[in-house]
Amino acid sequence: MPQSEEITLSKVRGGDRDAFRALVDQHARTVFRLAYRMTGNETDAEDMVQETFLRAWKQIGKFDGRATFGTWLHRICTNCALDHLRLRQRRQAAQPAYHAGEDQSDPVALVAAESPSPERLAMSSQISAILGPALEELTEMERAAFILRHYEGMGIEEISVELGVQPGAAKHSVFRAVQKLRRVLEPAMANSR
C-alpha cells in the first residue's frame, strides 16, 4: 500500500472527515463503474456508491491493510450490490409476470426486432439494451460472479473470496451465467444478422 494512502487511512481511523473525503474523491468513479455493472443503471449505481462509502466509514476499524483500500472498497461495493440485487429480485418475484409466454413480452426479441442491423448491434447502447435484460435473467450470485470475472478480470479464486463462497461455487456461478447469457444473446444476435 502506498505510504500516502497509509497516512490518509490512519487519519480516517482517527475520525478525520477531510481525509475520508479525499478517499471518496479518489475512489468514487472506480466504485461507480463496478456498481453500474452490477446494478445496470445509473441511479442504483449512485446509491451503491454512497452505501459503499458509508459502510467503509463505519467499518474502517476493521480494515487491516492486507489488501489495498481500493480492493477493500471493491469488496464492500460487491456486497452492497449483492444485497441490492437480492432485494430487487425478491421484489420482481413478487410481481405477477406481465404477458408471460407471449413473444412480445420478451425484451430481447423486441430489441432484436427493432435493431436488425449488425452495425447498430455493435453500438454499445444496443449492446446494453440486449445485455441488460439478459443479465436480469441471472441470479444475484451468477451476475456478480460474471461481472467480476468478465469485466473486472478477477480469477475464480479471487471471486470466491470476494463473494465469500467456495471456489467451486464461484466457478459454477460463472458457468451458469455464461450459459444463461448465451441462451438469451445468441438468438438475438442471430436475428440481427
Partner 1 sequence: MKHLTEEDLVLLYYSEPEAPAHGQLHLRDCPECRGAAESLALTLNVCSEWVVPEPDAELGRSVWAQIAPQLEVQGGSHAKRHWARHLWGRPRPWLWVAPALLALLLGTFYLGRVSKRVESPVMAGLSNAARQRILAISLADHLDRAEMLLTEISNAGDSGAADISSARYRAQDMVDEGRLMRQSLAEQGDTATLALVDEVERFLLEMANSPDNANAAEVQSIRQRIDSGSLLFKVRIIESNLRTEGQKS
Quickly tell me which residue has 472527515 as its cell.
17
Indicate the residue among 17 and 65 with the shorter CB distance to partner 1: 17
The number of beta carbons lying within 10 Å of the beta carbon of residue 93 is: 8
Residue 13 CB partners (closer than 8 Å, separation 6+): 60, 61
Binder among 5, 11, 19, 46 for partner 1 (CB under 8 A): 46
Indicate the residue among 57 and 67 with the shorter CB distance to partner 1: 57
Give me the DSSP letters along 24-80. HHHHHHHHHHHHHHHHSSHHHHHHHHHHHHHHHHHHGGG--SSS-HHHHHHHHHHHH
Q: How far is the CB of 27 from partner 1 (least distance, A)?
A: 8
* First and final C-alpha spacing in the chain: 49
> CB under 8 A: which stretch of 35-43, 70-78, 98-106, 108-116 binds partner 1?
35-43
User: Under the criterion CB under 8 A, does residue 53 sit at the interface with partner 1?
Assistant: yes
Q: Which of residues 111-170 bind partner 1 (CB under 8 A)?
A: 121-122, 124, 127-128, 131, 149-151, 155-156, 164
Q: How far is the CB of 66 from partner 1 (least distance, A)?
A: 22
Closest CA to 129 of 109, 111, 150, 105: 111
User: Under the criterion CB under 8 A, does residue 189 sit at the interface with partner 1?
Assistant: yes
Closest CA to 135 of 77, 184, 98, 91: 184
* 97's grid cell: 409476470
User: Footprint of partner 1 on this chain (CB under 8 A)?
Assistant: 17, 20-21, 24-26, 28-29, 32-33, 36-37, 42, 44, 46-47, 49-51, 53-54, 57-58, 82-84, 86-87, 91, 121-122, 124, 127-128, 131, 149-151, 155-156, 164, 171, 174-175, 178-179, 181-182, 185-186, 189
